Structure 1
Amino acid sequence: MKQGIIYAVFSYLTWGLLPLYWRIFTAMPAWEILAHRIVWSFVFVAILVTFAKQWKQLKGVVANRRSRIAVVLCSLLISLNWLLFIWAVNNHQVLETSLGYYMNPLISVLLAVVFLKERLSPGQWFSILLAGSGVLIMAIQYGHIPWIAIALAVSFALYGLAKKAAKLDILLGLTWETIVVLPISLGYLLYIQAQGTSTFTDLSGTSVVLLMLSGVATALPLFWFAKATKLLPLSLVGFIQYIAPTTSLLLAIFLFNEPFTQWQLISFSLIWLSLIVYTLASFKKSNANRRLAEIQKVS
């Protein structure tokens, strides 16, 4: 449990700081950034697989139909999530990405209850109600359907569910996720280069190096996230995710100078209150389960 929480915190804190990273490449179209992100992510995980001497085991990861479907779904869902996030950050919509990742835990919990049959205590259900109220106020304040936020929330929640259900090897599963979309990414980069519309050659040397390091910035938090989903209930992983949107929210307000209204402050307060309630309810439930297990062991 402790290791899972550490992995989850590291992954979500990194994701919360990513707007700072993608703002370096505002001159590049989102599709081009995504293609480079996939290519360099593959390079990084390939290095990890080489050091771990696991290339021979790679084929066995997708030996059955269920695993192949899971890998393809994970690859497509995370690629869609990356694209939306990059586009939103570079179009001054960091606040809406924050809203999306506030919504995601609610959807993750719902998926966990429906598909994984996880049970929540009354306190946990109350925390969901509080968080839902905060998100609803944010959505109403926008005055329109926040499609970016909804798409980000749904795509990442489904990605987490697929990772949890597939039970794939962490490193090899991540390798396959990049392999699936690698040919498309390489083909796209070659196409825009031939068309003369690529912006990669216009980057400075420092920016080129930073773009290549996007593989590390992408794969490491995904690796930590995968470890967390194996060690923790999906519902708890979902609520730890509040670290990422909170970090992004603070960046949007204090660094990117995006407007932050009084209603958004109220929403923010409700969501953090829900996190406190959920944490307390989870510890209470965990202690009750432990006492029950001890009683059953004695009897």
Structure 2
Amino acid sequence: MLLRSGIALAIFSYILWGITPLFYRLLPGAEPLELLAQRVIWSVPFLLLIRFIIKNKTLWKQVWADKRSIILCLFSSSIMAISWGAFTYALTHGQVLAASLGYFINPLFSILLGVVFLHERLVVAEKMAVLLIFSGVSFQIWQYGELPVLALIMGSAFAVYGLIRKFIRFDVITSLFVEAVWLLPIAFVIIGWLSANDLSAVFAGDWSIKMLYMLAAPVTIIPLLFFTAAIKRTTLTVIGLAQYIEPTIQFLLAVFLFNELFDWIKGVSFSLIWLGLLCCVIALLHKRYTQYHKRVAYVTGRDKTPQL
């Protein structure tokens, strides 16, 4: 029962993330810096409220004592700002397909970072995934003669963010709160500069615009709450498979609802990337299968190797 609820929560969280382009369509042409600043400012009280409500959290005494994690939150918040900025720019400037591509190619960067920094060894399926995803992106660059900059920024930034988060010892909500606090001074500077130069859409807009900018924070964080709950109730295999729901929904919205250009070049490129993702799924399932049987063998006494 617990596993089924975890699967449902994981799927629901990625569906919510997947349909976020529908919200950002209400803010066409929004200034990414102002949207990012407002998102940070309203995230702080929202996360603080959530932290007050949840039970399993890092105590403030433990937070202040862990200077290493606080500093790591500074770096992760900087990467998060880059990822957020590129993502919101794509969603508010008619480039949802680029956002979808960014999250589809994210596993490529995650795999490469794992090899370089965590000394992980690739199985055959993962090597095939890297080759296919790289080929898909390269084909698009070759045909269009330009880099898919937004997609590459999102895919790489999110992978780096995930790598840094592996070394932060705070719970998810606390680490997000610390990250937002690090960005808070910059957010106030951006808002102050924009308002002083009469460039602020929030100050110039009506209450509906103000509310939409304010809602950017909970729109991002609420799916994260369901995701956090899912992690505690299901396996990493489920999370790994469910993560492709988000870019798939964004892809479908971009092509069939927002009528973004999807020509034969992108068709070939995405097909190669999807084949690469299939290899990622196969590799993930194989790893979990192998780990499961090793644990079974150890418990039943057939394998005396200590399980980490």
Question: TM-score, with normalisation over the residues of structure 2?
Answer: 0.83
| Residue of 39, 62, 72 corresponding to 1:60 | 62
The offset of 1:226, in angstroms, is 6.1
Q: Is the 8 A contact 1:104 1:238 kept in 2?
A: no
Residue 207 of structure 2 aligns with an amino acid whose one-letter code is: G
| Residue of 30, 33, 37 corresponding to 2:32 | 30
Structure 1 residues 135 and 227 mapped into 2: Cα distance closer, same or farther (>3 Å)? Answer: farther
Residue 109 of structure 1 aligns with an amino acid whose one-letter code is: I
Number of matched residues?
298
Distance in 2 (CA, whole Å) between partners of 1:237 and 1:170 is 16
Q: Is the 8 A contact 2:72 2:164 kept in 1?
A: yes
| Residue of 150, 163, 166 corresponding to 1:164 | 166
| Residue of 94, 103, 108 corresponding to 1:101 | 103
The offset of 1:201, in angstroms, is 3.6
| Alignment-derived partner of residue 156 in structure 2 | 154
Distance in 2 (CA, whole Å) between partners of 1:270 and 1:116 is 27
The offset of 1:221, in angstroms, is 3.4
Q: Which moved more, 1:142-151 or 1:202-211?
A: 202-211
Distance in 2 (CA, whole Å) between partners of 1:165 and 1:229 is 17
User: What is the aligned-residue identity percentage?
Assistant: 36
Q: Is the 8 A contact 1:239 1:275 kept in 2?
A: no
Q: Does 1:143 align with 2:145?
A: yes
Distance in 2 (CA, whole Å) between partners of 1:55 and 1:293 is 30
Structure 1 residues 56 and 98 mapped into 2: Cα distance closer, same or farther (>3 Å)? Answer: closer
Structure 1 residues 40 and 18 mapped into 2: Cα distance closer, same or farther (>3 Å)? Answer: same
Structure 1 residues 133 and 9 mapped into 2: Cα distance closer, same or farther (>3 Å)? Answer: farther
Structure 1 residues 48 and 41 mapped into 2: Cα distance closer, same or farther (>3 Å)? Answer: same
Q: Is the 8 A contact 1:105 1:239 kept in 2?
A: no
The offset of 1:54, in angstroms, is 8.8
The offset of 1:223, in angstroms, is 4.5
State the secondary structure of the residue aligned to 1:257. Answer: coil
| Alignment-derived partner of residue 185 in structure 1 | 187
| Alignment-derived partner of residue 70 in structure 1 | 72
Q: Is the 8 A contact 1:61 1:173 kept in 2?
A: no
The offset of 1:232, in angstroms, is 6.4
Structure 1 residues 31 and 12 mapped into 2: Cα distance closer, same or farther (>3 Å)? Answer: same
> 1:93-116: CA deviations, max 9, x gaps?
222222222221110122123323
The offset of 1:180, in angstroms, is 0.8
The offset of 1:227, in angstroms, is 6.7
Structure 1 residues 238 and 149 mapped into 2: Cα distance closer, same or farther (>3 Å)? Answer: farther
Distance in 2 (CA, whole Å) between partners of 1:31 and 1:73 is 19
State the secondary structure of the residue aligned to 1:168. Answer: coil
The offset of 1:33, in angstroms, is 1.0
Q: Is the 8 A contact 2:10 2:242 kept in 1?
A: yes
> 1:182-241: CA deviations, max 9, x gaps?
1221232233334333221443433433332222112233455667789866x9866654
| Alignment-derived partner of residue 115 in structure 1 | 117
Residue 90 of structure 1 aligns with an amino acid whose one-letter code is: T
Structure 1 residues 41 and 265 mapped into 2: Cα distance closer, same or farther (>3 Å)? Answer: same
| Alignment-derived partner of residue 262 in structure 1 | 264
| Alignment-derived partner of residue 41 in structure 1 | 43
Q: Is the 8 A contact 2:51 2:173 kept in 1?
A: yes
> 1:144-176: CA deviations, max 9, x gaps?
122222221111111011112223211111111
Choose between structure 1 and 2: higher helix proportion: 1
Structure 2: give runs of 5+ residues left out of the alignment: 303-308
The offset of 1:289, in angstroms, is 2.6
Residue 96 of structure 1 aligns with an amino acid whose one-letter code is: A
Q: Is the 8 A contact 1:108 1:238 kept in 2?
A: no
Residue 200 of structure 1 aligns with an amino acid whose one-letter code is: V
Q: Is the 8 A contact 1:35 1:185 kept in 2?
A: yes
